[in-house]
Amino acid sequence: MNWTGKRVLVTGAGGFIGSHLVELLVGRSARVRTFVRYNSRGSFGWLANLDSEVFGAVEVVQGDLRDADTVMRAVRGCDVVFHLGAMISIPYSYANPSEAVAVNVNGTLNVLNACRLLGAEKIVHTSTSETYGTARYVPIDEKHELHGQSPYSASKIGADMLAESFCRSFDLPVAIIRPFNTYGPRQSARALIPTVMIQLLTRSELSLGSLTPTRDFTYVTDTALGMLRAAEVAETSGKVINLGSGSEINVADLVALIGRVTGRTAEIRQQMERIRPEKSEVNRLLSDNRLARNVMGWQPTVSLEQGLLQTFEWLRAHLADYQRAATGYVI
């Protein structure tokens, strides 16, 4: 696909992955409209931290995914829609499950309806590996059962099923991209890697939850490039496609690796309040990324060691801004 002049909407553009995707699209000369959740501070999230040339090239629409009229206005005139907007916090979803459903399910319904009625050429809907729950087998392929082990993951399963239904019922060209554990600059402080790094930069000990779960980490630019490929390749329509590295590491070993990469270590203290409810914990995630490789020609290019070092250097340089911008929403 030639992105030059292509009219593109990115929901969740003020968030972690969304802001990196916006950078890639602007770099490819797309005409980018961004949708960010309105807030009384007038904050555009991480969009405001992009280079002035990048930020100056995008159109910003403020609103709420739960408002169908605003979503319709945002989608109008766009050829491709990348839907990343969501309420993403798992702990927050325990306390506010109805909000998770309203934003993630009803908000996705509004995006899909607008794309159907306005004739969008391609929609890339962002899912999550949390929809798989704890692995029943590894590596996890796209045929793995879905298990709602938190209100957040259940809401994302509902959103994914809506996206599949619109493809089947209305021939809407939707690709469902299921990233595993994306990390990198601008990730929320709630996530594991920035939590560890921020504590290493500011404290003498690490307060963590469970140390045994494994995760499959992918650097954020690799994830964003996978989303671009999903839009570019016609054969992705109607498919669910994993974006993961195909390797796993447990929390304890990850902390040790971060220490080796950054030259900083600290004693670990486990906190019960950081441990998920037993039946809600996802104990193992390991992706099978063969479909992404075969259909899209995509595979990760940034090693975990490289990505961790780049993330740490960015965090150290942007610690104050990072802490101010961290939220429970992908705005």
d(CA 30, CA 58) in angstroms, rounded, equals 9
In a domain, 277, yes or no: no
Beta strand pairing call for 214-215 and 249-250: antiparallel
CATH code for the domain in which residue 161 is found? 3.40.50.720
| Residue entry with tokens 């990343």 | 84
In a domain, 202, yes or no: no
Helix (H) or strand (E) holding 15: none
Q: What is the pLDDT of residue 282?
A: 79
Q: Confirm if 251 and 212 have CB atoms less than 8 A apart.
A: yes
Q: Is 137 part of the annotated catalytic residue set?
A: no
d(CA 81, CA 65) in angstroms, rounded, equals 14
d(CA 113, CA 73) in angstroms, rounded, equals 12
The neighbour count for residue 273, using CB atoms within 10 Å, is 7
In a domain, 275, yes or no: no
d(CA 259, CA 149) in angstroms, rounded, equals 31
Q: What is the pLDDT of residue 328?
A: 41
In a domain, 158, yes or no: yes
Q: What is the pLDDT of residue 268?
A: 84
Of the listed 152, 183, 322, 329, which one is catalytic?
152
Q: What is the pLDDT of residue 280?
A: 61
Beta strand pairing call for 329-330 and 86-87: antiparallel
In a domain, 36, yes or no: yes
Q: What is the pLDDT of residue 39?
A: 86
In a domain, 309, yes or no: no
In a domain, 176, yes or no: yes
| pLDDT tens series, the chain, 331 aa | 899 999 999 999 999 999 999 999 999 999 999 999 998 888 899 998 899 999 999 999 999 999 999 999 999 999 999 999 999 988 899 999 999 999 999 999 999 999 999 999 999 999 999 999 988 999 999 999 999 999 999 999 999 999 999 999 999 999 999 999 999 999 988 889 999 999 999 888 888 878 889 999 999 999 999 999 999 999 999 999 999 999 999 999 999 999 999 998 888 887 665 655 666 677 899 999 999 999 999 999 999 999 999 999 999 998 886 655 444 433 3
Number of domains in the chain: 1
d(CA 261, CA 6) in angstroms, rounded, equals 40
Q: Describe the crossing of helices 304-317 and 251-262 by its angle, rounded to 10 degrees.
A: 70
In a domain, 141, yes or no: yes
- Cα Dmax for the chain: 56
Beta bridge partners of 249: 215
Range of the domain at 223: 7-187+219-246+286-302+325-330
Q: What is the pLDDT of residue 42?
A: 80
